Amino acid sequence: MLMEWTNDAAIRKWAAMPEAVLDQMEPEGDFCRRHLLNASLLRLLGPLDGVRVLDAGCGHGYLSRMLADRGAEVVGVEPAQALYDYAAKKEASQPRGIRYVRADLCDLPDLGGPFDAVVSNMVLASIPDWSTAMRACVESLVPGRVFVFSINHPCFEQLAPTWRQHGDYRIREYLREYPIEQTHAPDFHRTLSTYLNELTRLGCRLRELDEPGLDPAAASPSDGTEAYVELPNFLLVAAERR
């Protein structure tokens, strides 16, 4: 039941992720991040040299490191201890000037003033109190600047497994909110309109939606990734704070 999930409960699940799993996502994330998400995130954020960026829900810090390598001044916020520790250890061994802060996005400490850009990569769908987290992201922005977030596309969340099983995509429930069990911690299904309408309520102007498709050369029928050539498993949103 969704009502049983709190931010603290979800954070505890993420905090149990083994370090070996995080090592496998170095240096630029897992397959989907490398082939479907990273290029779109960087394009939507725009030039980064000298830009102060909040990586909201930075996980083990791979995107923070990519942003810093492109000249951004990065603050990464992550509540799960194991992920925060991994990011902080990377910064200690390979300094890039990234400041990592362990905190819930719904209860941010003083991060030193507003940011030129905020990015939240595959985070909002993992947070029970997601609307408070989205508000915190928007309120952390300088007016007129961009908030970029990515989520599993609400219309195609179970794309790879259903494609492997049926050779096409199938869905039975869409309109209600419910948890989606995964290997380490759950995500939560919400409709596309839920996210976009909340952006509107927060006073944001939509700049762009992106539904990236996979280059056929990177697809494999054995693991279901060929589905990503035909249908979008991810949705990226760029919005401007008014």
pLDDT confidence of residue 1: 46
Are 83 and 22 in contact by the 8 Å Cβ rule? The answer is yes
Q: Which amino acid is at 219?
A: A
Q: What is the pTM of this model?
A: 0.95
Tell me which H or E stretch contains 180.
strand 178-180
- pLDDT per residue rounded down to tens, the chain (242 residues): 455 899 999 999 999 999 999 999 999 999 999 999 999 999 999 999 999 999 999 999 999 999 999 999 999 999 999 999 999 999 999 999 999 999 999 999 999 999 999 999 999 999 999 999 999 999 999 999 999 999 999 999 989 888 888 988 998 899 999 999 888 899 999 999 999 999 999 999 999 999 999 999 999 877 878 999 999 999 999 999 99
Q: Cα–Cα distance between 67 and 51 in angstroms, integer?
A: 10
Which residues touch 86 (CB under 8 Å, ≥6 apart)? 19, 22, 60, 61
Task: Give helix 192-201 / helix 130-139 axis angle, nearest 10°.
Answer: 40
Residue 2, pLDDT score? 56
Helices (H), 26-80: 31-32, 38-45, 62-69
Nearest to 120 by CA among 239, 25, 242, 13: 239
CA-CA distance, 77 to 104, in Å (whole number)?
8
